Chain A
Amino acid sequence: MPALASRRPKRDTVTSEANEIKPSHIAAARLKMAIAAREGKGETVPLWIRELARRDLAQPGVPADRDRGSTDHPVDHEKAQPHLPQERVRDGNAESARIADQQVIDSERAEDAPQAVYRRGLLLQGQGDTKGARIAYQRAIDSGHPEYAPLAASSLGHMLQGLGDTDGARIAYQRAIDSEDAGTAAVAAINLGYLLLGQGDVDGARIAYQRAIDSEHPELAAMATNNLGHMLEGLGDTDGARIAYQRAIDSGRLDAVAVAANNLGHLLDVQGDLAGARIAYQRAIDSGHPEYAPLAASNLGHMLENLGDTDGARIAYQRAIDSGHPEHAPLAAFALEDLLREQGDDEGARIVHQSAIRSTRTELAATDARTP
């Protein structure tokens, strides 16, 4: 570990005369929340830190709106939103949605309750309350509802997988796979395949992915084909991997095309087929996918830089930077900065360095604009 890691700063204190919330306090709270959420411990973070994390960087002195949906676990919360009563979600009023769902649950209408309980599970998970989410998901599963029981099982499996409870996740996924709902079964099969692969159960993973492929669901089968290709690549079966990636690309489905083209590009790059790699990366870039297009642009930049094509590399890195992706854009900017510095273009490197800072968060732009 580099020496800097041992340089631990003293804790900031807020004195009575400087009892003000600064943007850095909010950023620190967000960092704390993000790490806790990743560890599945979002609910253990003290309430005052959660509320601090919800404040606006540009207006740190304005208290968080208590009625607004929590951002304890921003990524999962966003995923949960489409499942909430839409009019309330648009209003940003998650509490209102929760109350509405509770009313449905309390009314014991057999047709509506499983849906409401499932939504509640998503909401609680999004807020970092994994214990509450687990109870809600289990209630939806126990309802036996043909749609929401398997959906809850799949979501429960995904949550448990994230929490490291692989045995629980396997059981939940299997419950969803065994259901009559083909789409949800395919989702669970893909996630089970990924879980089993992580445990070294290659045969089990292959069976699970094949199950999703056999579902013939246009998007999910293509995604499973990509994952199968990635597994084959890891096993050294590069021919099988190429075929699988190409099939996923041929599906024409955005997610599958973007990720499989990027993966094929890397495979061909490693194999020395640079022309093929370039075409594949370009395909991923042209997809415009928010996650994989910038990644492919950066990968292309690295490949071209290694080939000595600095002009091509600069263009590719710039493409990734322009995407504004929170991780790929700044990393591409740093790579371009290094490239420019090696070429003696210190001024260009300095400008790119600044762009790396600007691309960290769009919120930062608002802060820059409002802060004297």
Chain B
Amino acid sequence: MLTATEVALIVSGAALIGTGVTIYQKSLTDRHEAWWGRTQWALEQVLENQGRDDKNRTVGLLMLEALQESGLANTEERKMLKQVAEACLPSPPEDQNETP
């Protein structure tokens, strides 16, 4: 038998989005600028450490994973992050020619 608490978990997903309009900074523009600043920093970790420091590169990618979850990210920016992820993937195994 499912409990009410388990059902409520489903609610929290939507409620988080609904109330996720709560605020980091005063205006949406400021918040997005702040988001972009963090994203830019993470992208630099990825791009500048290509073929060099894999640890920093990993940090950047993990940071991007966290940042893309933000409601501040728009479709274009997510598309760009997806391209970054694809560029950082290894070549697919020989038995899978599917393009990611």
Contact = CB atoms under 8 A, between A and B. Distances in A.
Given A14-B91, A34-B68, 8 more contacts: A1-B77, A5-B77, A79-B10, A83-B6, A154-B7, A183-B4, A226-B19, A230-B21
B36 to A, nearest CB: 6
11 contacts: A5-B77, A21-B90, A48-B93, A161-B14, A183-B7, A187-B10, A187-B11, A191-B14, A219-B4, A230-B19, A334-B41
B82 A12 contact: no
A37 B67 CA distance: 15
Contacts of B66: 326-327, 330, 360-361
Interface residues of B, number: 69
A92 interface: no
Interface in B41-83: 41, 43-44, 46-47, 50, 54-55, 57-59, 61-70, 76-78, 80-83
Interface in B1-60: 1-2, 4-19, 21-25, 34, 36-38, 40-41, 43-44, 46-47, 50, 54-55, 57-59
Interface in A1-47: 1-2, 4-5, 7-14, 21-32, 34-36, 38-39, 45-47
How many interface residues does chain A have, given as a range?
Answer: 35 or more
A158 interface: yes
A289 to B, nearest CB: 11
B24 A8 contact: no
Nearest to B35: A331
B100 A49 contact: yes
B98 A38 contact: no
B22 A262 contact: yes
A255 interface: yes
B83 A364 contact: no
B44 to A, nearest CB: 7
Nearest to B47: A9
* Residues of A contacting B: mostly: helix
Contacts of A219: 4-5, 8
B70 A360 contact: no
A367 B61 CA distance: 14
A293 interface: no
A82 B98 contact: no
A191 B88 contact: no
A8 B90 CA distance: 16
A32 B89 contact: yes
Interface of A: 1-2, 4-5, 7-14, 21-32, 34-36, 38-39, 45-49, 52, 57, 75-76, 79, 82-83, 147, 151, 154-155, 158, 161, 183-184, 187, 190-191, 194, 197, 217, 219-220, 223, 226-227, 230, 234, 255, 259, 262-263, 266, 291, 295, 298-299, 302, 326-327, 330-331, 334-335, 357, 360-361, 363-364, 367-368, 371
A290 to B, nearest CB: 11
Contacts of B17: 194
Contact of A47 (B7, B91, B96): B96
A35 B68 contact: yes
Contacts of A191: 10-11, 14
Contacts of A368: 55
Nearest to A36: B82
Contacts of A79: 9-10, 13
A194 B12 CA distance: 12
A75 B17 CA distance: 13
Contacts of B5: 219
B61 A190 contact: no
